[in-house]
């Protein structure tokens, strides 16, 4: 046929195209097959070719890596945003080059369309190269130029966040401990919150900050901030039964479960032949037809076979994770079980709880709801372990029927003062409740201290939006919205300014977190040796608002008289005390960044609040030398007068039924002189490894 041209393609096969040009056909092929199987270089899978079309240009001469242009065809590890390299567990097999030399045999390497190549950008005036996508001369309207500039600003801000020291030695990356696990998780959360804060502010301008949890994990891996990287069977050092997590990335960073998507993690047994792998952990979170209601028995469904947008449901195969679980049945090795649930306070999210060690006791195959065969594995929990999922089941029952709670004294201690009831429970002795007090939900001032300058509310008509530089409340907060979209505190600040009564924004504006009250179901309970305490029925995410310290503002603490047991001082909060310092924000090596996220409070004058006669649930929080709650000063105006409030936030993830505690602080010299310091010292029973033995 006139104009018909033949093109040779591997293995002697010919493909013809009715085109009037002698042109090569360049295909964008994956470098690996499904499930890690590699397509031999001399074979050709027709199913991998999409939209076969000749390119109307000459065969290009490819530059040598690494100076060549980036691939437009994503490698098997998937596309990654600017500035991010692939990292475990998203990277391909070890030893696989991610950027092969482009001047190899054209059809034995990854290729890309010629139209994607651009001339190398000229060097910037300061001698540094700028990415071509941002360096090309803009020919569009000014809005396009602004978008490019904002993209550049976002990339610079993102790069600045990676400028921090790992602080973890090589040995700690393989084997961790409790302190190290908590440190890794807190640093991940701090970085994720910072990225989320930037994402909220740049939401309409940039894609760079999307999926903050994945980007935070990427940065952590790149910097080597992780622990328990060595796979193991059984207990993971530093991880306790009942620990909770809100992202799969957290499980990976601490070595509890190394699969980002797959529910079954496995490893080869020592001294075994290659390929003899056993399961070491599973995640059951509702993606398959698991029978997960029994707290001691889990019937787990194997992986694979689910229907998706481009394929129908199919029979599961005895490969990879399914085969590993089958081998664990015969090997009788321990398997870690992580259960996932919907987050009660964030319905679109999940929370994961580590439920301890199980063993595979039985396996079989049955028809699923789709009519396809599925593998089933019965796992039984090892006896003698601390309860985890069983606690969640009990709480679910209490929420449905509060009267089913053992030791319940009152279903709502607040008598309706709070939007969510607070239970009063005593399972220890016959005491019927704490001494009488009046429940109030906020602090009461006998007088307010006035602002140095008149304060005016913002002009936001609906709700204050992150990134709105015209919002006066955001300006007071240094240009950053103090809370991310979910209402979580982004970082500790010298002072947080919330919207006040003169602000026209809605009552549920995201800059009114303290004023809208807590969103967690609390329980005041009798402890065995510390009087009454406070805990939650719900899992609490780091940065969650707990409550404010309510009570009456007083000018000074009452001096102790002879015979006074100091009870008045047991219900006092004093901002002027010395508190143990700690770092909660994400910190970089940049001095400018550190100044923006200062954690040193800036309180205009000392504030003393007494909750002896009137107060809220905060009066029941006990002291700990290793607390899981911290306080933050918050100010908002009313009739041009400033009111200072003390808000409590979760320092880390807190599992349900864990006592909430904060550091009571140590009196300064002036307070110590008016109240005999030694006489006011009390024995500390917090049980922390860092317990100093006493508190005031």
Task: Please give the pLDDT value at position 448.
Answer: 56
Residue predicted with more confidence, 209 or 271: 271
Task: Please tell me the distance from the alpha carbon of residue 270 to that of residue 273, in angstroms, as a whole number.
Answer: 9
Task: Please give the pLDDT value at position 517.
Answer: 93
Q: Which residues have a Cβ under 8 Å from the Cβ of 364 and sit 6 or more positions away?
A: 375, 376
Kindly report, residue by residue over 455-496, the tens digit of the pLDDT: 667 888 788 888 788 888 888 898 888 999 889 999 999 999
Measured N-to-C along each axis, helices 178-201 and 212-223 cross at an angle, to the nearest 10 degrees, of 130
Task: Please tell me the distance from the alpha carbon of residue 463 to that of residue 235, in angstroms, as a whole number.
Answer: 47
Kindly report, residue by residue over 330-342, the tens digit of the pLDDT: 999 999 999 999 8
State the Rg of the chain over Cα: 30
Kindly report, residue by residue over 591-641, the tens digit of the pLDDT: 444 444 578 898 888 999 999 999 999 999 999 999 999 999 999 887 777
Kindly report, residue by residue over 158-200, the tens digit of the pLDDT: 677 777 888 899 999 999 999 999 999 999 999 999 999 888 8
- Confidence band (pLDDT; 50, 70, 90) for 45? very low
Task: Please give the pLDDT value at position 275.
Answer: 62
Which residues of the chain form CATH 2.30.280.10?
Answer: 167-306+313-396
Which residues of the chain form CATH 2.170.270.10?
Answer: 401-558+570-588+600-670+679-695
Per-residue DSSP letter, 451: P
Residue predicted with more confidence, 455 or 403: 403
Q: Can you tell me the mean pLDDT for 650-676?
A: 84
Task: Please give the pLDDT value at position 464.
Answer: 85
- Confidence band (pLDDT; 50, 70, 90) for 112? very low
Task: Please give the pLDDT value at position 568.
Answer: 58
Max mean pLDDT range (134-138, 218-222, 476-480, 597-601)? 218-222
Q: Which of 18-32, 123-137, 358-372, 473-487 has the lowest mean pLDDT?
A: 123-137
- Confidence band (pLDDT; 50, 70, 90) for 130? very low
Q: Can you tell me the mean pLDDT for 509-534?
A: 94
Which residue, among 616, 599, 669, 290, has the nearest Cα to 440 in the 3D structure?
616
Question: Using an 8 Å Cβ cutoff, are 377 and 329 in contact?
Answer: yes
Q: Which of 49-58, 632-641, 652-661 has the lowest mean pLDDT?
A: 49-58
Question: Using an 8 Å Cβ cutoff, are 577 and 668 in contact?
Answer: yes
Range 167-306+313-396 has CATH code 2.60.40.10: no
- The b/e string for 266-290 (b: 16+ C-beta within 10 A; e otherwise) is bbeeeeeeeeebbbbbbbbbeebeb
Q: Which helix (H) or strand (E) holds 400?
A: helix 389-400
660's tokens? 């909430």
- The class of domain 401-558+570-588+600-670+679-695 in CATH terms is mainly beta
Q: Which residues have a Cβ under 8 Å from the Cβ of 462 and sit 6 or more positions away?
A: 505, 506
- Strand 682-683 to 694-695 pairing: antiparallel
Task: Please give the pLDDT value at position 386.
Answer: 94
Residue predicted with more confidence, 464 or 526: 526
Q: Which residues have a Cβ under 8 Å from the Cβ of 369 and sit 6 or more positions away?
A: 289
Helix/strand/coil (H/E/C) assignment for every residue in 320-331: HHHHHHHHHHHH
Question: Using an 8 Å Cβ cutoff, are 636 and 500 in contact?
Answer: yes
Say what percent of the chain tops pLDDT 70: 69
Task: Please tell me the distance from the alpha carbon of residue 665 to that of residue 547, in angstroms, as a whole number.
Answer: 19
Task: Please tell me the distance from the alpha carbon of residue 532 to that of residue 547, in angstroms, as a whole number.
Answer: 17
Task: Please tell me the distance from the alpha carbon of residue 339 to that of residue 298, in angstroms, as a whole number.
Answer: 10
- Strand 449-450 to 423-425 pairing: unpaired
Q: Which of 428-437, 649-658, 665-674 has the lowest mean pLDDT?
A: 665-674
Residue predicted with more confidence, 653 or 344: 653
SS3 assignment, position 127: coil
pTM above 0.85, yes or no: no
What mean pLDDT value characterizes the chain? Answer: 78
Which residue, among 492, 516, 512, has the nearest Cα to 504 in the 3D structure?
512
- Strand 423-425 to 522-526 pairing: parallel
Question: Using an 8 Å Cβ cutoff, are 443 and 467 in contact?
Answer: no
Which residue, among 684, 672, 450, has the nearest Cα to 557 in the 3D structure?
672
Task: Please give the pLDDT value at position 239.
Answer: 98
Taken in order 61, 64, 68, 71, the sign of the CA dihedral is positive
């Amino acid at each position: 046929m006139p104009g018909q041209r033949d093109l040779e393609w591997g293995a002697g096969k010919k493909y013809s195209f009715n085109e009037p040009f002698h042109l090569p056909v360049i295909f964008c092929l994956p470098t690996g097959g499904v499930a890690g199987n590699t397509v031999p270089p001399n074979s050709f899978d027709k199913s991998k070719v999409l939209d076969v079309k000749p390119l109307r240009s000459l065969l290009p001469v490819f530059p040598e890596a690494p100076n060549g242009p980036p691939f437009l065809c994503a490698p098997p590890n998937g596309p990654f945003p600017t500035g991010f390299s692939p990292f475990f567990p998203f990277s391909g097999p070890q030893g696989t080059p991610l950027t092969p030399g482009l001047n190899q045999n054209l059809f034995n390497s990854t290729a890309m369309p010629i139209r994607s190549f651009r001339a190398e950008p000229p060097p910037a005036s300061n001698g540094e190269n700028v990415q071509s996508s941002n360096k090309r001369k803009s020919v569009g309207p000014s809005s396009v130029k602004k978008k490019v500039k904002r993209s550049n600003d976002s990339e610079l801000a993102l790069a600045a966040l990676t400028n921090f020291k790992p602080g973890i030695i090589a040995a700690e990356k393989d084997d961790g401990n409790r302190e190290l696990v908590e440190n890794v998780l807190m640093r991940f959360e701090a970085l994720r919150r910072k990225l989320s804060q930037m994402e909220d502010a740049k939401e309409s301008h940039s894609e760079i900050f999307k999926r903050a949890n994945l980007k935070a994990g990427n940065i952590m891996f790149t910097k080597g901030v992780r622990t328990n990287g060595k796979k193991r069977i059984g207990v993971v050092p530093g991880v306790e039964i009942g620990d909770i997590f809100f992202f799969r990335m957290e499980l990976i960073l601490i070595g509890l479960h190394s699969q980002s998507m797959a529910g079954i993690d496995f490893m080869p047994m020592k001294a075994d032949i290659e390929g003899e792998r056993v399961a070491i952990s599973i995640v059951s979170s509702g993606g398959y037809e698991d029978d997960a209601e029994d707290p001691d028995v889990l019937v787990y469904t194997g992986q694979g076979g689910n229907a998706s947008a481009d394929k129908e449901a199919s029979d599961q195969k005895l490969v990879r994770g399914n085969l590993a679980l089958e081998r664990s049945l015969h090997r009788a090795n321990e398997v870690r079980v992580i259960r996932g649930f919907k987050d009660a306070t964030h319905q679109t999210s999940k929370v994961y709880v580590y439920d301890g060690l199980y063993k595979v006791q039985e396996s079989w195959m049955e028809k699923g709801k789709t009519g396809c065969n599925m593998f089933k594995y019965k796992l039984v929990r090892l006896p003698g372990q601390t309860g985890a999922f069983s606690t969640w089941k009990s709480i679910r029952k209490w929420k449905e029927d509060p009267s089913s709670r053992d030791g319940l004294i009152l279903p709502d201690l607040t008598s309706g003062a709070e939007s969510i009831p607070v239970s009063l429970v005593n399972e220890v002795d016959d005491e019927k409740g704490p001494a009488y007090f009046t429940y109030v939900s906020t602090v009461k001032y006998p007088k307010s201290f006035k602002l140095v300058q008149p304060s005016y509310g913002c002009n936001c008509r609906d709700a204050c939006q992150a990134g709105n530089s015209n919002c006066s409340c955001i300006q007071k907060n240094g240009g950053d919205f103090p809370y991310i979209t979910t209402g979580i505190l982004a970082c500790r600040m010298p002072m947080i300014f919330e919207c006040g009564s003169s602000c026209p924004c809605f009552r549920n504006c995201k800059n009114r977190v303290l004023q809208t009250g807590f969103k967690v179901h609390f329980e005041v309970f009798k402890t065995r040796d510390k009087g009454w305490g406070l805990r939650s029925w719900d899992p609490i995410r780091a940065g969650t608002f707990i409550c404010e310290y309510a009570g009456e503002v007083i000018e000074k603490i009452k001096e102790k008289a002879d015979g006074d047991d100091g009870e008045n001082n047991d219900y006092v909060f004093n901002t002027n005390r010395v508190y143990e310092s700690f770092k909660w924000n994400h910190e970089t090596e940049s001095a400018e960044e550190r100044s923006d996220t200062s954690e040193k409070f800036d309180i205009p004058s000392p504030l003393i609040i007494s909750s002896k006669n009137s107060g809220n649930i905060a009066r029941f929080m006990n002291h700990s030398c290793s607390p899981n709650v911290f306080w933050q000063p918050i100010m908002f105006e009313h009739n041009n007068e400033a009111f200072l409030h003390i808000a409590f936030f979760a320092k880390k993830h807190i599992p349900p039924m864990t006592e909430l505690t904060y550091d009571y602080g140590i009196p300064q010299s002036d307070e110590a002189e008016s109240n005999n310091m030694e006489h006011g010292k009390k024995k500390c029973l917090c049980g922390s490894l860092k317990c100093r033995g006493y508190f005031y």
